[in-house]
A and B are shown apart, each in its own frame.
Chain A
Amino acid sequence: MTKASRNYNYAFLDEGSKREIRRATLKAVAIPGYQVPFGSRELPIGRGWGTGGIQLTLSLIGPGDVLKVIDQGSDESVNAVNIKKFVGLCTNVETTTEAQRATLIQTRHRIPERDLEDGQILIFQVPLPEPLRIVEAREEITKKMHAEKDYAPLWLQLYESLIRYSKVTIGAEYPCLVEGRYMMNPSPIPKYDNPKLHEAKCLYLFGAGREKKIYAIPPYTEVVSLAFDDVPFEKESFEGRHCRLCGATNTYLDEVFDQRTGAQYHQCSDSSYCREQRGKD
């Protein structure tokens, strides 16, 4: 542990803060999809930069953990590298880029390509936890709507999208119904990742620091993306495209432009998975 980190409590947060976050986390697991309010703490980064996810990570982490942090699937982006450095500095835990080795994975906007296993915890950084915010601005009303399971405005929005554009135009943050009860915002993951939430082996935790909410999807929980009987849910299709680096055709692909030539490429969004595939060759 460095000299600077010795001036702080283990995992930065004081024990009272951790305890409150832990209590909220347990309630969130007991009530899948329900947003549990908590007293979000000040951190040495701005709200909206992953403070919810960081607070969850800091309240969970211990000496035996192996941490992986990704941002849009990448281990090397600025947000991911800095969060990993920060948590490493105040806990001294081992960090990794391999999804299968990590016990805790903090993520922004993606779920790793590799299926996560029992015992692993995926922690999402969530900017806007409330799926009903797009149809109702007032928190007191959205709370009441959740209490009454009144999700009609969200269904209407989906219907209007179909009428206007002949397809559902929601790209990320595609709402889903958890265990047949709570409408949940799965954070801004692409639709491609929504099916991975359903009946997963791992535990998913969602932390929204600015909005002061924690919610969860326990393992083996029913998570159904919103869809009509005659218009089924569709995720992004990358048919006919492949990763320029590893050649994968079964992953979520990012579009990349070469500024000099103007050429357009695709490559795996999950940089660790892509590296792993190339290592196999």
Chain B
Amino acid sequence: MTAALSKKHDFDVVFDSQKVFRLVLEALSHPAREVSILECARRFGGKHSALLALALTLLDNEVSFNTCENHQLSDDIAALTLAHRSTVDKADFIFVCNLDDLKDVIEHAKCGTLENPHQSATIVILDEQGNDVPAHRLCLVGPGIDVSRTVTASPALKQALILRDAQHYEYPQGIDLLFVSGKGELYAIPRLVRQGEVG
């Protein structure tokens, strides 16, 4: 861990990790439900605090990650977790801070195989939606959702779903998406969740 980073954060790897994991589990079990990891994320400084909280909860030296050329974030995650840096097509976790990188990431992220679909990437997207952004209404269906759920979708979510669907993955292959804002609000879109008809 870099000296600067170790001074910066007081994230508890036992109890804060457990809290963050349970919130991520809740988010993944209930797609599009927003949970807040702010309480634990604020133990890190900087604008990537929520991403670092997630990284320290889920990553270690057994997995690889990619940050799409965000070198500061890459250094911080490597120092915190000892996870291996990797290319987009081989990374287990991909952190996307710039939506311009999303297309390349989704097109190249590994989606597992029919025999081993768990060997697929989890993509963590920093979703900084401003108030001036026009809202889109999206209807989502799939496991974890009681019939359907209509959400106000950020441009990141809308774009990610379009790009993901364009890959035409054969289930159980696919990618799982986690969206997190700088304020620590987090929601998930696992591979089986898809757009339905807005009622």
Contacts and interface: CB of A to CB of B under 8 A. Distances in A.
Pairs of residues from A and B, 7 with the lowest C-beta to C-beta distance, nearest first? A147-B114, A30-B190, A221-B143, A27-B118, A62-B18, A147-B115, A218-B144
Majority secondary structure, A binding face:
mixed
A63 interface: yes
A27 B116 CA distance: 11
B115 A62 contact: no
Given A22-B58, A29-B28, A10 B14 contact: yes
Interface of A: 9-11, 15-16, 18-20, 22-32, 34, 36-37, 59-63, 118-119, 143-144, 146-148, 179, 181-182, 199, 203, 218-222
B192 A23 contact: no
A57 to B, nearest CB: 12
B7 to A, nearest CB: 21
Contacts of A179: 143, 192
B112 to A, nearest CB: 9
Majority secondary structure, B binding face:
loop
Contacts of A37: 118
A15 B117 contact: no
A219 B147 CA distance: 11
Contacts of A10: 14-15
Contact of A26 (B25, B114, B143, B147): B25
Contacts of A30: 28, 176, 190-192
Nearest to B24: A26
Interface string B158-183: 00000000000001100010000000
B132 interface: no
Given A29-B25, A220-B144, A24 B15 contact: no
Contacts of A19: 17, 57-60
A270 B172 CA distance: 36
Interface string B139-165: 000011111000000000000000000
Contact of B172 (A16, A20, A181, A218): A181
A26 B21 CA distance: 9
A179 B115 CA distance: 17
A9 B14 contact: yes
A62 B117 contact: no
Interface of B: 13-15, 17-19, 21-22, 24-26, 28-30, 57-60, 62-63, 113-118, 120, 122, 143-147, 171-172, 176, 190-192
Contacts of A148: 114
A29 B29 contact: yes
Given A20-B62, A144-B115, A181-B171, A26 B28 contact: yes
Nearest to B178: A26
A25 B25 CA distance: 8
Nearest to B122: A26
The interface centre, meaning the residue of B19, B30, B59, B118 with most chain A CB atoms within 10 A of its CB, is: B118
Contacts of B145: 220
Nearest to A9: B14
B39 to A, nearest CB: 12
B194 to A, nearest CB: 12
Contacts of B120: 27
A147 B118 CA distance: 12
A31 B171 CA distance: 9
Nearest to A35: B118
A239 B17 CA distance: 49
Contact of A15 (B13, B24, B192): B13
Contacts of B26: 119
A24 B143 contact: no
A260 B151 CA distance: 64
A29 B190 contact: yes
A148 B172 CA distance: 11
A231 B148 CA distance: 31
A185 B176 CA distance: 24
B122 to A, nearest CB: 7
A59 B115 CA distance: 26
A34 B172 contact: yes
Contacts of B28: 26, 29-30, 218
The interface centre, meaning the residue of A16, A30, A147, A220 with most chain B CB atoms within 10 A of its CB, is: A30
A32 B192 contact: yes
The interface centre, meaning the residue of B21, B30, B115, B190 with most chain A CB atoms within 10 A of its CB, is: B21
22 contacts: A10-B14, A10-B15, A18-B17, A19-B58, A19-B59, A20-B60, A20-B62, A23-B63, A24-B118, A27-B176, A30-B190, A30-B192, A36-B118, A59-B21, A60-B22, A61-B18, A62-B15, A147-B113, A147-B115, A179-B143, A219-B143, A221-B144
